Amino acid sequence: MIGGDADDGDGGSAGGNADGRSTDGDTDSFEDRPLRERIAANPRPAAVWGAGFALLVAVQFGAIADVIVNAMPWGVALGALPSIPGTGILAAVGQWFADLPTLLSPELIPNEGYYVPGEGWHGTFLGLSPAIAWGIRVVLVYAYAFAALAWIWYAYVLFRRHYRYADWTPRDDVVDRLRTHRWGQFGIVIVLAFLVMAIFAPALATAPVAQNIEDPYSHTIEYYDHDAGEVVETTVGDANRNSQSRGQDARNVGPMSYDDYDRFHPLGTMPSGQDLFTFIVFGARVSLLIGLLSLTISGVAAAGFALFGAYYKGKLDLSFVVMSDSVQAMPRLLLLVLLSVILADTWIGGLYSGAVVLALIFGVTGWPALWRAIRGPALQVAEKEWIDAARSYDQAPTTTMRRHMLPYILGYLLIYASMTLGGIIVGVAGLSFLGLGVDSPTPEWGRAIDAGQDYVTTASWHISLLPGLFIVLVVTAFNALGDGIRDAIDPQSDVGGDSEEAAAGGTGA
């Protein structure tokens, strides 16, 4: 077990202890108290953790607000519905919070500037080269992100030491098994890196997305003109046009290189001259939005159908089987194409250039796969003695499902959702590659692969290859994460047992 279990609290020892636990066996014993009362009895550990967490949020509040306001579906919807009273004000207030300065931002650690012979770099962080300034910002962003995750983990450790009344719970064994599961840990690290890339895309990008991709001709940059011998100004659009990667050595800006305008490109440029790394990090945000929104829809539907079908069985469960077969009988690709065209001119079709429509379609058509995966475990737990006991005490069916059945199937749902998310990312990239997914100018990984397919064997090989490698790595990581969670929850999954039979029953229904 993880260190600190010795302090988890002995409900059977007499008297109290330094954690404020009362273990004298009276009616006000530690284990009978709600969590808020346990914290009130010993507030110091929670207060220290809360102060540290507040500090972590404060230094990056603008970036967090930007994700909430601009990257989440409700933020996109507010911007798309300005005619509804109140939404314009809400969007303006949210944008004000999103524009607040943050500790790790291109404004505080700039990497855009120009080089003057004999004078060095101008406009960059501490006069460093753009590559070094950008590298410092990337390292600090990931250091901050993993420090925040470590602090969240520390909250769990404090809970076990000071506020949990049980010496041991099955969750402890799950955590311990996952800590020794190397394949699952590989998945965790890559998935977390992908999430950080999506959340902190504005800070990680080498240039603002509005400047480099969305509207380059409305923004200008300065650079040193060697012919004129002075610093001049040009539009980003013109700079992109002269920094295109189109296969020829003379017209190629490869990975880890500068263009003629002193702009650093970690992964090179695209045929349009846009920075490929900026395109990829903002494309990660779009892929994550589609994946999470679609999984939320399909996961809620799958869990609801599985619980109600397992509890009531009979005709209700059979109706869910018929619904599942009907949905899976529909050609998904054809449905995506038809609905994308039909909804293209509507307000929902304009959200994230069609990304929200894709998420809704993936969610509505994806629940049968998740439902089949968790139907077997739901049917299995519905036969347990405690479910019969809950019925005999006239407990409400929804309460029984929520308290006694849902926790049992959540592990299976998490496993298959993790693996499904990788498939959604591949599906969205494939549709975008075919011109059926997210529309320009919104970045999406499949569109980058499509843009570089004519240059795979040329000096501009990086345009298609690097986004493809990102897709392979992220999808593999989600599958590895699912494997790790499965083995941690059910250590018998590789050698048989009831849990394996339950999973098999769920997938084979």
CB count within 10 Å of CB 290 equals 29
Residue 456 has what DSSP assignment?
T
Report all structural domains of the chain as residue ranges with CATH numbers, in order of start: 215-265 (no CATH), 277-508 (1.10.3720.10)
pLDDT digits 0-9 by tens, 405-445: 998 898 889 889 988 888 899 888 888 887 777 887 889 89
In the beta sheet, which residues pair with residue 235? 220
User: Residue 310: is its pLDDT beyond 80?
Assistant: yes
User: DSSP string covering 313-333, please?
Assistant: -HHHHHHHHHHHHHHHHS-HH
CB count within 10 Å of CB 228 equals 8
pLDDT digits 0-9 by tens, 282-308: 999 888 889 988 999 999 999 999 999
Distance of CA 123 to the CA centre of its chain: 33
Percent of the chain with pLDDT over 70: 83
Can you give the pLDDT at residue 50? 94
pLDDT digits 0-9 by tens, 432-489: 887 777 887 889 899 999 999 999 999 999 999 999 999 999 999 999 999 998 888 8
User: Picking from 14-18, 65-69, 193-197, 362-366, which range would have the lowest pLDDT averaged per residue?
Assistant: 14-18
pLDDT digits 0-9 by tens, 157-207: 999 888 887 777 778 888 888 888 999 999 999 999 999 999 889 889 999
Can you give the pLDDT at residue 253? 92
Can you give the pLDDT at residue 100? 62
- Global pTM value: 0.82
Give alpha helix (H) positions in 353-395. Answer: 355-382, 385-392
User: Residue 355: is its pLDDT beyond 50?
Assistant: yes
* Choice between 389 and 74, residue whose per-residue pLDDT is larger: 389
- State mean pLDDT over 90-101: 58
Can you give the pLDDT at residue 259? 93
Can you give the pLDDT at residue 182? 92
Average pLDDT over the chain, rounded to an integer: 82
> Binning pLDDT at 50, 70 and 90, where does residue 507 land?
very low
Q: Which amino acid is at 398?
A: T
Crossing angle of the two packed helices 498-508 and 406-433, in degrees rounded to 10 = 50
Taking the C-alpha atoms of residue 370 and residue 298, their distance in angstroms, rounded to an integer, is 7
Q: Which amino acid is at 50?
A: G
> Binning pLDDT at 50, 70 and 90, where does residue 24 land?
very low
pLDDT digits 0-9 by tens, 365-415: 889 999 999 999 999 999 888 888 888 888 888 888 988 899 889 888 988
